[in-house]
Chain A
Amino acid sequence: MDVENMYYHGRINVPYKWYVGATGSRFLVGLRDGKEFWGITCPKCGKVYVPPLKTCPECFVPNEEWVRLADTGTVESFTVAHYSNGVSPSDIPYVLGLIKMDGADGSFLHYIGDADPADVKVGMRVKAVFADERTGNIMDIKHFAPVNE
């Protein structure tokens, strides 16, 4: 049977409002009000998590002690992305990086800006650049920019 193939164009638009938890709230308030990075420490292995985690995934115990961190770190990995998916920046190419914040374990995902993508290297030192208007979310950090130390 030869028929014209019909397509239905749909879209799911569902808003959510996620409570970020007391731990996450403290971190986001720090970014918003003081341009401050706060990490949280596992009492067992001593790892410092930023963004903070309520519990240590390695030790399965609640994290306790808050520590103030510098706004600097080292690029652990990065990618120069040549497309936008509609959520990522439309100004391409853009650079996404995994940044090991000074004094923290693990690495922090964010953009790397104020740099020619061709100049971005693993091991490069970077510093957070904050948004002028901060509203308590991850975009209160505009991006990380290279620093000469």
Chain B
Amino acid sequence: MEKVGIVGVGQTIYERRKTDTFAELVFEACTSALADAGIGIQDIDNVVTVSNDFWDGRTISSMAIQDAAGAWEKDVSTVEGDGIFGALYGMMRTLSGSFDTTLIVSHVKGSEGNMNLITNAMFDPIYQRHLGVDATTSAALQARAYMEKTGATEEDFARVSVKNHGNGVNNPFAQIRKKISLEDVLNSRKISEPLKLYDCSPISDGAAAIVLSNEKGLARFKKDPVWILGVGHCSDSYSLGYRDLTFPRALQAAAGKAFASAGIKNPLKELDVAEIADAYSYMELIWYEGFGFAAEGAGADLIRSGATAMDGALPVNPSGGLLSAHPVLVAGLARIVEATLQLRGEAGDRQVKGAKKALAHGINGPCGQSHGVFVLGA
């Protein structure tokens, strides 16, 4: 297969109530990705924008920010969902032979809508939406089911939150930069039991962008690219109740594909850093199992062992993860940005020394219905 490289990345600082418009956020992310790549918009052959109408509060939201993405007079296409799927689609367009370079951008202003009402609308409108279920209450149902099956405790979930918040202190792009203790998490306000305030990611505003190039397009860039070594994508059943919430078979399938093409047999050993979708603390433990970092049911053992801490065998979420900043839709693309910075050795205080292989992960739908997985290499 022809190779695709990441040649530029850009992101805004993630904050609550940013005083930038959607278009300003998109412009900032795009221009910083282009500056990072050392090119201008004229060197971009096509653009992929990522958004969601409910989050934007308008229909065909992806068309509304195209001027700010430099997409005017260019081939532009759109993705609705997490930014990781925008990257997947952008990679396909780069491989198609029609374009050598692709700019992918995703934006959200979580602070301007109502997260609970917006995520309530993702559920089945006849049988489930009317009950008021949303991202947080459905996550709580998943968390409890996982505890019942595996024996993981609220303290194990808190360990994820403590680790990722601790990491977030080192990330100048993170929204929450505050070290917290196990007691802080366990004593934080009950939101939807067993989830408490510090088990839940914050609501963030921001944008991220990446530039992809095929081998032919690389002549336009000075820096060495970060290569996409493997990609996988898979989705599980839509209806809450018709899939096993305690084991992410879709992630297992997606990761399996990505690891196979990257030649990775033991991901915990062979990967140097992972940025994964911890929208709620407990998710990180379930995803450990889906990735094969831990055996089924043993996610809590891995966090307890310290293997995923900054000084562990595989640091997970050095950026602080979604628990430190959760720009919905942008999150997966931001994971790719973070993984790229790690592989270039440009991750500042959150750098994992000598990182050669990195994982980036994004989710979409209730309780991680679909998963996108990228393995990147220097």
Q: How many residues of B contact A (CB 8 A)?
A: 38
Of B57, B137, B145, B241, which one neighbours A106 at CB under 8 angstroms?
Answer: B241
Chain A residues within an 8 Å CB radius of B128: 109, 138
Cα A95 to Cα B180 in complex, Å, equals 29
A85:B114 contact, CB within 8 angstroms: yes
Of B19, B137, B245, which one neighbours A88 at CB under 8 angstroms?
Answer: B137
12 residue pairs from A and B, CB less than 8 Å apart: A20-B126, A24-B127, A57-B238, A77-B142, A79-B137, A79-B143, A79-B195, A87-B130, A96-B140, A97-B141, A98-B240, A122-B148
B240:A109 contact, CB within 8 angstroms: yes
Cα A58 to Cα B128 in complex, Å, equals 20
For the complex of A and B, the 9 pairs showing the least CB-CB separation, nearest first, are: A88-B132, A85-B116, A79-B140, A87-B132, A77-B145, A80-B193, A107-B241, A81-B192, A106-B242
Of A20, A78, A106, A138, which one neighbours B141 at CB under 8 angstroms?
Answer: A78
Residue of A whose beta carbon sits closest to that of B191: A82
The answer to the question of A10 belonging to the interface, with a C-beta cut-off of 8 Å to chain B, is: yes
Cα A97 to Cα B148 in complex, Å, equals 14
Chain B residues within an 8 Å CB radius of A5: 19
Chain B residues within an 8 Å CB radius of A78: 141, 144
The answer to the question of B131 belonging to the interface, with a C-beta cut-off of 8 Å to chain A, is: yes
Given contacts A57-B242, A77-B245, A106-B241, contact A87 B144 (CB under 8 A): no
Cα A77 to Cα B141 in complex, Å, equals 6
Cα A80 to Cα B137 in complex, Å, equals 8
Given contacts A77-B148, A79-B137, contact A18 B120 (CB under 8 A): no
Cα A98 to Cα B128 in complex, Å, equals 11
B131:A110 contact, CB within 8 angstroms: yes
Of A76, A80, A85, A122, which one neighbours B132 at CB under 8 angstroms?
Answer: A85
The answer to the question of B117 belonging to the interface, with a C-beta cut-off of 8 Å to chain A, is: yes
CB distance from B154 to the nearest CB of A (A): 13
A81:B145 contact, CB within 8 angstroms: no
Given contacts A85-B117, A88-B131, contact A122 B144 (CB under 8 A): yes
Write out, one digit per residue, whether chain A residues 45-86 have a CB within 8 A of any chain B CB (1) or not (0). 000010101000110000000000000000011111111111
The answer to the question of A12 belonging to the interface, with a C-beta cut-off of 8 Å to chain B, is: yes
Report B194-218 residues with CB < 8 Å from chain A CB: 194-195
Cα A76 to Cα B246 in complex, Å, equals 11
Cα A130 to Cα B327 in complex, Å, equals 41
B242:A49 contact, CB within 8 angstroms: yes
A86:B117 contact, CB within 8 angstroms: yes
The answer to the question of B129 belonging to the interface, with a C-beta cut-off of 8 Å to chain A, is: yes
Residue of A whose beta carbon sits closest to that of B241: A107
Cα A89 to Cα B238 in complex, Å, equals 24
- Enumerate chain A interface residues (CB-CB to B < 8 A): 5, 10, 12, 16, 18, 20, 24, 49, 51, 53, 57-58, 76-89, 96-98, 106-111, 122, 137-139
Residue of A whose beta carbon sits closest to that of B240: A109
CB distance from B87 to the nearest CB of A (A): 27
Q: Taking chain A's interface residues, is the majority helix, strand, or loop, or is none over half, making it mixed?
A: loop
B117:A138 contact, CB within 8 angstroms: no
Cα A79 to Cα B131 in complex, Å, equals 13
A87:B117 contact, CB within 8 angstroms: yes
CB distance from A109 to the nearest CB of B (A): 5
Of A51, A80, A86, which one neighbours B127 at CB under 8 angstroms?
Answer: A51
A85:B134 contact, CB within 8 angstroms: yes
Residue of A whose beta carbon sits closest to that of B117: A85
The answer to the question of B190 belonging to the interface, with a C-beta cut-off of 8 Å to chain A, is: yes
The answer to the question of B97 belonging to the interface, with a C-beta cut-off of 8 Å to chain A, is: no
B141:A85 contact, CB within 8 angstroms: no
Chain A residues within an 8 Å CB radius of B19: 5
The answer to the question of B133 belonging to the interface, with a C-beta cut-off of 8 Å to chain A, is: yes
Given contacts A79-B137, A108-B241, contact A139 B193 (CB under 8 A): no
The answer to the question of B266 belonging to the interface, with a C-beta cut-off of 8 Å to chain A, is: no
Cα A51 to Cα B241 in complex, Å, equals 10
Residue of B whose beta carbon sits closest to that of A100: B241
Cα A106 to Cα B124 in complex, Å, equals 15
Cα A24 to Cα B240 in complex, Å, equals 16
Of B117, B126, B131, B190, which one neighbours A96 at CB under 8 angstroms?
Answer: B131
Chain A residues within an 8 Å CB radius of B241: 98, 106-109
CB distance from B23 to the nearest CB of A (A): 15
The answer to the question of B237 belonging to the interface, with a C-beta cut-off of 8 Å to chain A, is: yes
Chain A residues within an 8 Å CB radius of B141: 77-79, 96-98
Residue of A whose beta carbon sits closest to that of B124: A51
Which of A5, A81, A86 has the most B CB atoms < 10 Å from its CB?
Answer: A81
Of A12, A18, A77, A81, which one neighbours B57 at CB under 8 angstroms?
Answer: A12
CB distance from A65 to the nearest CB of B (A): 18
Residue of B whose beta carbon sits closest to that of A86: B117
Chain A residues within an 8 Å CB radius of B131: 87-88, 96, 109-111, 138
Cα A138 to Cα B125 in complex, Å, equals 10
